[in-house]
């Protein structure tokens, strides 16, 4: 997942738009069989649409079955939905500096502040 996220982030055709059509990234990924390096059309996402697209793509490419990933999750639905997809919910320190200083983050971890922001 971390490498997919990196490939999406490194593609200049993928932009950020919180209020526009946040699902265009997902649609473009579908067109290229979930390989973000092949995206040829400008598209957009917000933070949670980005995470949703990464998870959906990783599950498709990894042939993960039996998991229903909503490609349009938001930060509220991510908070509750990630454990249903097999992710572990770990409650950590409330402030960003404490999280970084804990040394417990690993590449590919997903951080969610419900109703606010998410990142990988």
How much is the pLDDT for 59? 94
- In this prediction the pTM is 0.87
For residues 54 and 71, give the distance between their C-alpha atoms in angstroms, rounded to a whole number: 9
How much is the pLDDT for 70? 87
- Expressed as residue numbers, the domain containing 44 is 2-119
Structurally, the chain folds into a number of domains equal to 1
Q: Which residues of the chain have pLDDT under 50?
A: none
What is the end-to-end Cα distance of the chain in Å, rounded?
A: 9
């Amino acid at each position: 997942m971390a490498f997919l996220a990196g490939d999406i982030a490194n593609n200049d055709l993928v932009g950020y738009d919180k209020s526009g059509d946040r699902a265009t990234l997902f649609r473009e990924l579908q067109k290229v069989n979930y390989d973000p390096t092949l995206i040829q059309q400008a598209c957009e996402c917000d933070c949670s649409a980005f995470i949703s697209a990464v998870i959906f793509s990783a599950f498709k490419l990894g042939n993960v079955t039996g998991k229903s990933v909503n490609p349009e999750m938001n930060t509220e639905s991510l908070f509750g939905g990630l454990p249903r997809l097999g992710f572990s919910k770990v409650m950590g320190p409330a402030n960003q500096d404490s999280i970084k200083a804990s040394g417990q983050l690993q590449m590919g971890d997903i951080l969610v502040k419900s109703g606010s922001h998410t990142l990988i």
